[in-house]
Chains A and B, each alone.
Chain A
């Protein structure tokens, strides 16, 4: 792609400063939105654009906004910047390198939804991200883009940056709201959904950073421009975070529908010479594996589901033929063990036992019935937890058991990891 719309930080040096941002067209979309559009026209534009939530669920953004009840209560916009899904690192780049784009998107979105208060929930580990956001928010206040009666429009918006403190579960929107209210980050029962009873019990929209960053270009170029890219059901642009065994790991802005093979080869530089793809996790650690014969799958929500996985957060981890699938699976499941909030027994105990069994398999101390134990524990988690974290822990495991059962069996038969029980490959570096 020659021109970036979301990752403009790659094209413009110093765009994290408001003067540079404005010199490159920044905040023009906000002014345009105020001048040309009524709030409901902006909501209609977002609906028409087909923009879907980029945090993982892919829910249509305009429809989400439309769920806000018209009951006169003051509304909140909460931006989810608690990015922690293994393999996903786009929101970190967006907030660290181009914070004003997000702030402009927040102002436009708040105007569209008539929210009078907005919060950015920033992952606790993002120290620089939070510092960048706080500085940029202050700059926006100083320029009169935030606060009371913005640019004489009569629209007022307060924007605050709130830091998390290390908890993946707070990326789940209701847990995030709990955390923002100064509580433990346990997910809430839904319904009621945040649109009806969210932050402080008020009507609330929770959107991902990347989703909101789409707003400035969307207002500038229009819904027709947005739908001219991507597919009919998955229009527009998506940032894919590519990591693992590729030559050029990084964030890449692609039109939805771009084939997975193109992302790996054309954008991320392909694999190391002589290596072949063993499996790809296309949308963050929670989604099932795609196999080498599925590399021509278009990266859009529907096509990936059809191929048996999900686009999720766009965190694409590429595994080559030198990666042990048992070791890789053990590492991913351990993440969910660490991050389970502990509320539900199947998730809390299940992720613990799956990690334990996977570790002993990887160390060559597994037994033949361990695969049955894993399948049984997985079955006792699936669909039996309060929030999606339990199910998320199963995506890679279940598909690895299906596609790579021979590797699990080899660990048992040989009483060792045939690949040396290490994930590091010195040749790679």
Chain B
């Protein structure tokens, strides 16, 4: 457990004092720094929240944005919804897989990139849409896969 997590837990509980409403805000805050939620982190969060490990795990596993495996420095989501598919998201995904030498759902061996499918990102006007660390980047044409990998986004 990082020393600051205790303070973060207190702040989350102060903002959301009822039920377990502080849980997800705390998970978000920790994952933003750690990149993912390890078994130990889940244990720590359970301790900080006064919940069982099983409960925290059950919540973490429900939501697709909580990572229970290590992720790369840069997490790339490619929207594969219908409007994006009509604009080339399958081909973009294919080009990214080729370029990174991984399949969707995997992380590069050097830990630089994780490549994930996203369900409709609610940005169909800029299809094909992607996210880098949840920052919208789009439209990204299939042939622009390389550009996406080096795109600057806010930290």
Contacts and interface: CB of A to CB of B under 8 A. Distances in A.
A pairs with B:
yes
Interface of A: 83-89, 91-92, 123-128, 160, 162-168, 179-185, 200, 241-245, 249-251, 285, 315, 317, 319, 323, 328, 331-332, 335, 338-339, 341, 422-426, 428-429
A20 B66 CA distance: 36
Contacts of B86: 244-245, 319, 323, 328, 423-425, 428
Contacts of B125: 89, 241-243, 249-251
A86 B89 CA distance: 14
Interface string B76-112: 0100111101111111000000000000000000000
Interface string B21-35: 111110110000000
A129 to B, nearest CB: 9
B15 A160 contact: yes
Contacts of A167: 62-64
B58 interface: yes
26 contacts: A84-B122, A86-B82, A91-B122, A92-B123, A124-B65, A125-B77, A160-B15, A162-B21, A162-B24, A165-B27, A165-B63, A166-B65, A167-B63, A181-B19, A184-B62, A243-B124, A243-B125, A243-B127, A244-B124, A249-B83, A249-B126, A315-B124, A317-B83, A323-B86, A335-B81, A428-B87
Interface residues of B, number: 48
Contacts of A92: 122-123
A171 B34 CA distance: 28
Contacts of A422: 90-91
Interface in B1-45: 15-16, 18-25, 27-28
Given A160-B16, A424-B87, A317 B135 contact: no
A179 B21 CA distance: 8
A92 B138 CA distance: 14
Given A87-B124, A125-B121, A168-B119, A423 B64 contact: no
A423 B63 contact: no
Contacts of A243: 83, 124-125, 127
Nearest to B141: A429
A29 to B, nearest CB: 27
A123 B122 contact: yes
Contacts of B87: 424, 428-429
Contacts of B127: 243, 249
A341 B88 CA distance: 28
Most A C-beta atoms less than 10 A away, residue of B124, B131, B135: B124
Nearest 7 Cβ contacts at the A-B interface: A182-B20, A243-B124, A166-B64, A165-B63, A166-B65, A181-B19, A86-B120
Given A89-B124, A422-B90, A128 B135 contact: yes
Contacts of A328: 82, 86
Contacts of A180: 21
A163 B83 contact: no
B135 A127 contact: yes
B84 to A, nearest CB: 9
Nearest to A167: B63
B66 A165 contact: yes
B122 A182 contact: no
B142 interface: yes
Contacts of B136: 128
Contacts of A242: 125
A132 to B, nearest CB: 12
Given A87-B124, A181-B20, A429-B87, 6 more contacts: A125-B118, A126-B122, A163-B28, A181-B18, A244-B124, A250-B125
Nearest to B23: A182
Contacts of A315: 124
Contacts of A338: 119
A180 B124 CA distance: 27
Contact of B62 (A85, A126, A185): A185
Nearest to A89: B122
Contacts of A87: 81-83, 120, 124
A159 to B, nearest CB: 12
A424 B122 contact: no
A89 B123 CA distance: 5
